[in-house]
Amino acid sequence: MTEKEVRFTEKKIDESWKEGAAREKGAVPPPSEEKAALTFSVFLTSLGYQALIHLGEIPNPENKAVQLDLRAAKETIDLLVLLEAKTRGNRTPEEDRLLKTLLPELQMKFVAKVGGS
């Protein structure tokens, strides 16, 4: 008889929920602002970068290729327009300035790419 080789893989358990539960009970202080770096401005900026990648203005960081995907660029710009409308009156002055500069710039770049310059 031959013995089969049995291999066990290491089991990975996501225990991040434990910190959240402990925080709710007051046992762990909430994360600092430095640790929780995702803000609405960061989110808007990341959408702006995505739009620029889709417009072929900057290379895709994953494959370093410059790609033009007008459909994806339009969807991303439309998402920013939607966020601008839905968050109106509930943004900080910094977020307002960001949207007021980001949106028109992306829209003009999109129009130029589709040939409407």
Compute φ and ψ for 15, nearest 5 degrees: -110, 20
Output the pLDDT for position 37: 76
Question: Does the pLDDT value for residue 59 go beyond 70?
Answer: yes
- What the block records as the tokens of 75 is 């969807």
Other beta carbons within 10 angstroms of residue 76's beta carbon come to: 23
Q: Which helix (H) or strand (E) holds 90?
A: none
pLDDT tens-place string over residues 29-57: 555 545 557 899 999 999 999 999 999 99
Residues 6+ positions from 61 with CB-CB distance below 8 Å: 53
Output the pLDDT for position 27: 60
The residue behind tokens 């410059």 is: 66
The residue behind tokens 């969807």 is: 75
d(CA 59, CA 51): 11
pLDDT tens-place string over residues 89-116: 999 999 999 999 999 999 999 999 998 6
pLDDT tens-place string over residues 5-23: 655 555 555 566 666 666 6
Output the pLDDT for position 38: 87
Q: What's the pTM?
A: 0.66
> Mean of the pLDDT values across residues 55-71?
94
